[in-house]
């Protein structure tokens, strides 16, 4: 299989997980030399900067493509940052699918061609929805990130025209040794992990190990379309903070007012204050079993490991 974004927080661990499971893995990377050094066990690293069609030959003999590449949404959303978030996801996915099409054309008549594209998306697709339970059939939101996610998913769906099965993973807050959990753990250890804003907003999360397993599940099972990559137990943010404080044995009562969060983080603060109560209906219906369906267990594993 072929992975983009393989040197990122999720990609690095996914590559290790899949090679450990006996899958032959190659990657697309802006720096293939660094990828080969950082990712022991991969077969090959192809050069690709996502600004042009991915190299067609990279898809020869590949049965599955996992697309994780994209500019991180964390940090202050300057005009440049917003442009990179949009470009890397929308134009990058378009360039990937263009490369897949060229690879298929070159191998026309051959049995070996990608049969599935698993493309990352985000629960930001739904926008700020209060207490509404959001299954994969829920309508999209209309804020900046929701619009990016809609365009991002449309580009991924274009791979269906090449005869591929397309799975769009709408990923929640990923709990693991790094990523979104890193600043939360740092604040928690300082006793500053209290409620953000009102704390009433719903946070939908997934443990990194379950996300890796869900990607493999999506590859080997005949599911398609949007799949919410979140644990079954969404919690309000203040409850998340309370449980994290309990695991860390630190107080979690000092609030971060919404206005102060917006001063520090700008428009990105809206992502921490938005409420998304997301339900993994399709994952559960397809037979996927979460190992970390309980937040206490997930946080304890992250803190210990």
**pLDDT above 70 (res 56):** yes
**C-alpha–C-alpha distance, residues 155 and 138, integer Å:** 19
Q: What is the pLDDT of residue 179?
A: 74
Q: What is the pLDDT of residue 194?
A: 83
SS3 67: strand
Mean pLDDT value across residues 152-177: 95
Q: What is the pLDDT of residue 251?
A: 78
**pLDDT above 60 (res 50):** yes
**pLDDT above 80 (res 288):** yes
**pLDDT above 60 (res 83):** yes
Q: What is the pLDDT of residue 111?
A: 56
Task: Give residue 262's Cα distance to chain centre.
Answer: 24
- The DSSP line for 180-243 is THHHHHHHHHTT----BTTS-SEE-EEEHHHHHHHHHHHHHS---EEEEES-S--EEHHHHHHH
**C-alpha–C-alpha distance, residues 76 and 79, integer Å:** 10
Question: What is the DSSP-derived secondary structure letter of residue 141?
Answer: -
Query: Residue 263: which pLDDT band, with cuts at 50, 70 and 90?
Result: confident
Q: What is the pLDDT of residue 59?
A: 93
**pLDDT above 70 (res 109):** no
CATH number (domain holding residue 166): 3.40.50.720
Question: pTM score, two decimals?
Answer: 0.95
C-alpha distances out from residue 141 to 65, 81, 147, 224, Å: 28, 20, 7, 22
Comparing 150 with 195, which gets the higher pLDDT? 150
Chain mean pLDDT for the chain: 92
Mean pLDDT value across residues 8-13: 95
Contacts of 9 (CB under 8 A, 6+ apart): 174, 176, 178, 179
- The DSSP line for 16-43 is HHHHHTT---EEEES-HHHHHHHSTT-S
**pLDDT above 80 (res 222):** yes
**C-alpha–C-alpha distance, residues 169 and 120, integer Å:** 5
- The DSSP line for 230-292 is S-S--EEHHHHHHHHHHHHTS-----B-HHHHHHHHGGGHHHHH---EE--HHHHHTT---S-
Q: What is the pLDDT of residue 19?
A: 96
pLDDT tens readout for residues 234-249: 999 999 999 999 988 8
Q: What is the pLDDT of residue 35?
A: 94
Query: Residue 257: which pLDDT band, with cuts at 50, 70 and 90?
Result: confident
pLDDT tens readout for residues 57-68: 999 989 999 999
Beta strand 133-134 with 277-278 is parallel
**C-alpha–C-alpha distance, residues 171 and 153, integer Å:** 13
Phi, psi dihedrals of residue 44, rounded to the nearest 5°: -160, 150
Nearest to 184 by CA among 84, 105, 295, 281: 295
Phi, psi dihedrals of residue 26, rounded to the nearest 5°: -120, 165
Q: What is the per-residue burial (b if ≥16 Cβ within 10 Å, else e) of 7-45?
A: bbbbbbbbbbbbbeeebebbbbbeebeebeebbeebeeb
pLDDT tens readout for residues 121-146: 999 999 999 999 999 999 999 999 99
Looking at the 3D structure of the chain, how many domains does it have? 1
Question: Residue 165 forms beta bridges with which residues?
Answer: 116
Query: Residue 76: which pLDDT band, with cuts at 50, 70 and 90?
Result: confident
Q: Which domain holds residue 164?
A: 2-304
Q: What is the pLDDT of residue 55?
A: 94
Q: What percent of the chain has pLDDT over 70?
A: 97
């Amino acid at each position: 299989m072929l992975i983009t974004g393989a040197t990122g927080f999720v990609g690095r661990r996914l590559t290790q997980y899949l090679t450990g499971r006996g899958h032959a893995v190659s990657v697309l990377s802006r720096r293939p030399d660094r990828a080969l050094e950082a990712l022991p066990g991969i077969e090959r690293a192809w050069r690709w900067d996502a600004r042009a069609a991915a190299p067609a030959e990279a898809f020869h003999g590949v049965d599955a493509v996992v697309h994780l590449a994209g500019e991180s949404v964390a940090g202050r959303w300057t005009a440049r940052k917003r442009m990179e978030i949009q470009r890397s996801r929308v134009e990058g996915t378009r360039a990937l699918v263009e490369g897949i099409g060229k690879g298929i054309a070159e191998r026309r008549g051959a049995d070996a061609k990608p049969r599935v594209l698993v493309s990352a998306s985000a629960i930001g697709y739904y926008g700020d929805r209060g207490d509404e339970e959001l299954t994969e059939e829920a309508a999209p939101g209309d804020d900046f990130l929701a619009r990016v996610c809609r365009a991002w998913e449309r580009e991924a769906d274009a791979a269906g025209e090449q005869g591929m099965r397309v799975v769009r993973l709408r990923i929640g807050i990923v709990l693991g040794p790094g990523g979104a959990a890193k600043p939360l753990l740092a604040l928690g250890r300082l006793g500053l992990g209290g409620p953000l804003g009102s704390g009433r907003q719903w946070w939908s999360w997934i443990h990194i190990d379950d996300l890796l397993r869900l990607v493999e599940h999506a590859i080997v099972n005949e599911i398609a379309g949007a799949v919410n990559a979140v644990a079954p137990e969404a919690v309000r943010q203040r409850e998340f903070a309370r449980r994290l404080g309990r695991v860390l044995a630190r107080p979690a009562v000092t609030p971060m007012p919404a206005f102060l969060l917006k001063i520090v983080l700008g428009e990105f603060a809206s992502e921490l204050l938005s409420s998304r109560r997301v339900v993994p209906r399709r994952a559960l219906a397809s037979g996927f079993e979460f190992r970390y369906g309980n937040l206490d267990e997930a946080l304890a594993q992250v803190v210990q490991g």
